[in-house]
Structure formats: C-alpha cells, structure tokens
C-alpha cells in the first residue's frame, strides 16, 4: 500500500477542530485537524492501494461523522472533480483501515 497525503477543506459547521478530531480519530489515526480563521481542514496521510480509494475512504469517514467537504487539496492545489472519487458505484472495502490496534 501507498500513503497518500491530501487535505479536505470542510464546509461550514458548528464544531471546533477539537470536536471534529474527537469524532474522526477513533475511526482512523492518520488525520490532523486544524483551523485558520473560518477554514477547517482535515489533513490525511491515508494508506490505500490507489489515490481514489484513499480519497473515497476519507470522504466516507467525514460524511459518516456529519461533515461535508468543500474541496480537496494536494500540495495547496485544488483537486478537481471530487465526484469522480466519491462515485457511489466505486466500491472501497474497509481493508484500508490504518489503525494499528
């Protein structure tokens, strides 16, 4: 597996970065949540076979926790076409869990 690094910029929500991290960390420990003014981001270092699987896994994790992604960035550049990575017909198993427990 390869480790893919990217950041998900979240859409508006009432939670603090600490509350977001508390919701996300139990699912995967490869996330860092931070904020700068009104922008909250979740930075992932996600292990997966493909980049698409890494992004879809992060998307599923964020939406399950109740958050919506505004955009995804790689090295400060927006990633176009998030929908191609989160297509419901594209299947990812939970085998990409990066927890060491």
Instruction: Compute the Cα dihedral for 77, 80, 85, 87 and give only its sign.
Output: positive
The yes-or-no verdict on residue 97 having pLDDT over 50 is: no
Ordered structural domains, the chain, with CATH: 2-76 (3.30.70.3100)
Mean pLDDT score across all residues of the chain: 78
CA 31/CA 53 separation, integer angstroms: 16
Phi, psi of 35 (to 5 degrees): -140, 155
pLDDT surpassing 70 at residue 61: yes
Element (H, E) at 29: none
Rounded to two decimals, the pTM is 0.70
pLDDT in tens, 6-42: 999 998 878 888 888 888 887 778 888 888 878 889 9
């Amino acid at each position: 597996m390869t480790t893919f690094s990217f950041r998900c910029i979240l859409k508006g929500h009432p939670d603090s970065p600490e509350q977001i991290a508390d919701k996300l960390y139990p699912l995967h420990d490869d996330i860092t949540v931070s904020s700068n003014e009104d922008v909250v981001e979740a930075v992932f270092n996600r292990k997966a076979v493909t980049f698409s699987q890494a992004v879809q896994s992060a998307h599923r994790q964020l939406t399950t926790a109740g958050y919506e992604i505004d955009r995804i960035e790689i090295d400060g550049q927006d990633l176009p076409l998030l929908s191609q990575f989160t297509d419901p017909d594209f299947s990812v198993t939970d085998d990409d869990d990066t927890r060491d427990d």
